A and B are shown apart, each in its own frame.
Chain A
Amino acid sequence: MRLSWRLRETGLLLSGGALVLCGAAIASAARRGELVPAAFAPLLVYLAAALAVHIVLSLAGVRGDQLLLPIVVALSGIGLVFLLRLDPDFGMRQAIWLVLGLVIAMATYFLTRRIAVLRRFKYSIATVGLILVGLTFLFGQDLNGSGARLWLGAGGIYFQPSELLKVLLVVFLAAYLDEHAVILSRGAYRLGPVPLPPIPYLIPLLVMWGLAVGMLVIQRDLGAALLFFGIFVAMLYLASGRLLYLSVAVAAFAAAIWVAYRAIPIFQNRVDTWLNPWAQPSGLGMQSIQGLIALASGGLFGAGIGLGRPGYVPAVHTDFILVAIGEEAGLAVTLGLIALYAVFIGRGFRLAMRSRSTFAALLAAGLVTVIGIQTFVIIAGVLRLLPLTGVTLPFVSYGGSSIVTNSVLLGLLLRLAADAEGPA
């Protein structure tokens, strides 16, 4: 039997774990003047769970990418350090979600033994996603008073279906585009001697996109709409390699934005706030302004974890968590986090290039595109490069739906990575 222990993963998990524990030590020392065991307990539980996942993967002889898991653990661990410091209550819940997330990632990995099965059930997957969003439209609840009814649930447990829809959409698009990639990239198919544009092949795609975006605009969840459109365009380009589709789609979206700006007041407010948050410094512009002030006060090395005042920023534990990190740990650390995202996304594209089928390649590239676009949209929103839209910072922000979704995504990537390495 060959030795197949995931040694690189071991090393990265150990140094990532040390990093996370050092962050917890700073928070504990700064807030209480000493190292309190309680400050470390949730982190140790999470790191132990991550180590258990690593051991399971190694013992099962899983080959494939060893960077994905440690990067996710480092990002989530740093997020957890800040959540515990911002609000121990949220922190504890996050720790439970993160451990659950690792279980979900493993379940996803071991249940998708044959990834091609996902391809066969593409329409079922798309239908499930749309039913979820439809249910939200009918029975959705507005938990954070943002005016968007995004949550489904009862009895204290709530879920945001648009989160899960991202992954379902990527699976559907990968399967669908795989089936039609040749025709799409050729740009025309032939009916006898007459070349026709591939419109019949694009219609289901446009319907899918229209439904998803329409529902989300009705629900006022613009962050997700932007994300969905980005996924759609990116995957269409990946499958077809044609800039024409890209430019037509971007032009269509620009037109949609113009209409939305004219027609939807909440969207108009967002854009106006983006252009000039100081018009309403204590109203709509407050979150943006407080975020910028916090980031600026952090400087290069920050105030120290536990020594800043990130509590002034609304939604600092979810969408604005980067602000808390920037204020207390500084630009040095936020840039480091962005580098981690870049490596994660790069590994996904590398995986896509090494995959053995078009479906696997599209799926791998699509999944990391989700992470890439989402990270960009929220960081750009916080920095006022783009209008602010409410999406979470993947792996770092507080939120059960987000963690569950990203765990499924991680599980799928690990499966795709193993498939790309293993015997055909």
Chain B
Amino acid sequence: MITDVGILGLRVLFVVLLYAFLLQIAFLLWRDLRSRPVVAPTAGAAPAVLRVVDGARSGLKRGATLAIGTETTVGRAPGSGLVLPDETVSSRHALLRQVDGRWWLEDLGSTNGTRVNGRPLAAATVVVPGDLLEFGAVRLRLERGG
């Protein structure tokens, strides 16, 4: 038999346990914030260009410089930010964009794939000046612009 006092005790315990659970969560959230170094966004934009390493059959000459905006779609389609008229390039091939001063490259489900320094791209990835970007057979190098 549990007395009324016992029930009261259990009820107090229930509220205490709920808030202890919440505090435990709050502590973990706090530690999460503390431990993860916040990436300082690079001040200002970092201009970059693409240098043609191998134009394949796109007609682009080796060594030519291609301008890119802060958000550039790469593809064979005429409306693309960067048009690569080569048959191994999909009409919407990849997306190159700048977030917090870093360049991100993402494959948009292209047929022949996108590679960074020879490695196929599975997900959006940070690329830095000097990286070799391959869209199908077209090979371009990311370089510091300015």
Chain A residues packing against B (C-beta within 8 Å): 8, 11-12, 15-16, 18-19, 22-23, 25-26, 29-30, 33-35, 66-67, 71, 74, 119-120, 179, 182, 189-191, 301-302, 304-305, 307, 329-330, 332-333, 336, 339-340, 343, 356-358, 360, 419, 424
Contact = CB atoms under 8 A, between A and B. Distances in A.
Contact of A343 (B1, B14, B19, B25): B25
Given A356-B124, A357-B106, A357-B123, A71 B25 contact: yes
Contact of A22 (B2, B17, B71, B124): B17
Contact of B17 (A11, A19, A307, A330): A19
Contacts of B60: none
Interface of B: 1-2, 6-8, 10-11, 13-15, 17-22, 24-25, 28-29, 71, 73, 79, 95, 106, 108-109, 122-125
Contact of A424 (B2, B13, B122): B122
Contact of B125 (A18, A67, A424): A424
B15 A357 contact: no
B10 A333 contact: no
A15 B17 contact: yes
Contacts of B108: 179
A15 B124 CA distance: 38
A33 B11 contact: no
Task: State the main secondary structure of chain A at its contact with B.
Answer: helix
B7 A30 contact: yes
A33 B14 contact: no
Contact of A33 (B2, B25, B29): B2
A129 B7 CA distance: 48
21 contacts: A12-B21, A15-B24, A19-B18, A29-B6, A35-B2, A67-B25, A182-B71, A302-B11, A304-B8, A304-B11, A330-B15, A332-B15, A333-B18, A336-B22, A343-B29, A356-B125, A357-B124, A358-B106, A419-B123, A424-B122, A424-B125
Task: State the main secondary structure of chain B at its contact with A.
Answer: helix
A185 to B, nearest CB: 8
Nearest to A182: B73
A26 B24 contact: no
B14 A424 contact: no
Of B79, B108, B124, B125, most A-chain CB atoms within 10 Å = B124
A304 B13 CA distance: 12
Contacts of A18: 17
A83 B2 CA distance: 22
Q: 4 shortest A-B CB distances, which residue pairs?
A: A356-B123, A29-B2, A19-B17, A336-B18
Given A189-B79, A424-B125, A25 B10 contact: yes
Contact of A34 (B1, B11, B18, B123): B1
